[in-house]
Chains A and B, each alone.
Chain A
Amino acid sequence: AQKITQTQPGMFVQEKEAVTLDCTYDTSDPSYGLFWYKQPSSGEMIFLIYQGSYDQQNATEGRYSLNFQKARKSANLVISASQLGDSAMYFCAMREGVQDDKIIFGKGTRLHILP
């Protein structure tokens, strides 16, 4: 079974609108961390936001927020007031446990911001 599922292969959004990128995860470990990374066409992976499984509040970083619904195993990324520079691939990822340090990535969502 896939550990990280991103069901939207591509999305088109009008500039300045908010956008939600979906992510569901699967783990039986009570301790885990969830990440979102952005990958522009240049190829580097840019860290956006982190949510720990024990964090009580949803993580926020500037225009990025993570809608964490633990019971549903959902960790959607919300980008407010989208900009043309937000066009990129977005990956949801998870680190399980406290000993294991590998990150498991989803297949990504390609976001296109339209002017």
Chain B
Amino acid sequence: DTGVSQNPRHKITKRGQNVTFRCDPISEHNRLYWYRQTLGQGPEFLTYFQNEAQLEKSRLLSDRFSAERPKGSFSTLEIQRTEQGDSAMYLCASSLVKFGWTDYEQYFGPGTRLTVT
């Protein structure tokens, strides 16, 4: 098991450009989450998927952000018309959740660090 992987690890882009990040969860995990972490803060929830269905989106996720998980495996997070305030670490996590479970953990990937210049 290779764990959660994210690509790219670092991305530098100019303001106004679009960027896309990819997350590959642990293979048997049915839930996938995206978080954003700015310097000196804890991660903030953005959205999560149960298989291919997007179940919840945070108010932090403006209409410039879109996430997909088309086949219930990997996921992409796209940011359109990037702004300097989008500079952050974008973390992906996955978990295996069965009905009635409550004591499961989320396994995090190494993150993609985005710098908008």
A residues engaging B (CB < 8 A)? 4, 31, 33, 35, 37, 42-47, 50, 52, 91, 93, 98, 100-108
Residue B25 at the A interface, CB < 8 A?
no
Tell me the B83-117 residues at the A interface (CB within 8 Å): 89, 91, 93, 97, 102-103, 105-111, 113
Q: Are B110 and A107 in contact (CB under 8 A)?
A: no
B residues engaging A (CB < 8 A)? 31, 33, 40-45, 48, 55-56, 58, 89, 91, 93, 97, 102-103, 105-111, 113
Nearest neighbor of B41 in chain A, beta-carbon distance: A107
Known: A101-B97, A105-B44. A47 touches B106 (CB 8 A): yes
Known: A43-B89, A45-B108, A47-B107. A104 touches B102 (CB 8 A): no
Q: Are A107 and B108 in contact (CB under 8 A)?
A: no
Q: Are A103 and B45 in contact (CB under 8 A)?
A: yes
CB of A40 to closest CB in B, whole Å: 11
Cβ-defined partner of A101 (8 Å) among B40, B42, B48, B110: B48
Q: Are A44 and B42 in contact (CB under 8 A)?
A: no
Q: Are B111 and A44 in contact (CB under 8 A)?
A: yes
Cα of A108 to Cα of B111 in the assembled complex, Å: 18
Q: Are A45 and B45 in contact (CB under 8 A)?
A: no
Nearest neighbor of A47 in chain B, beta-carbon distance: B105
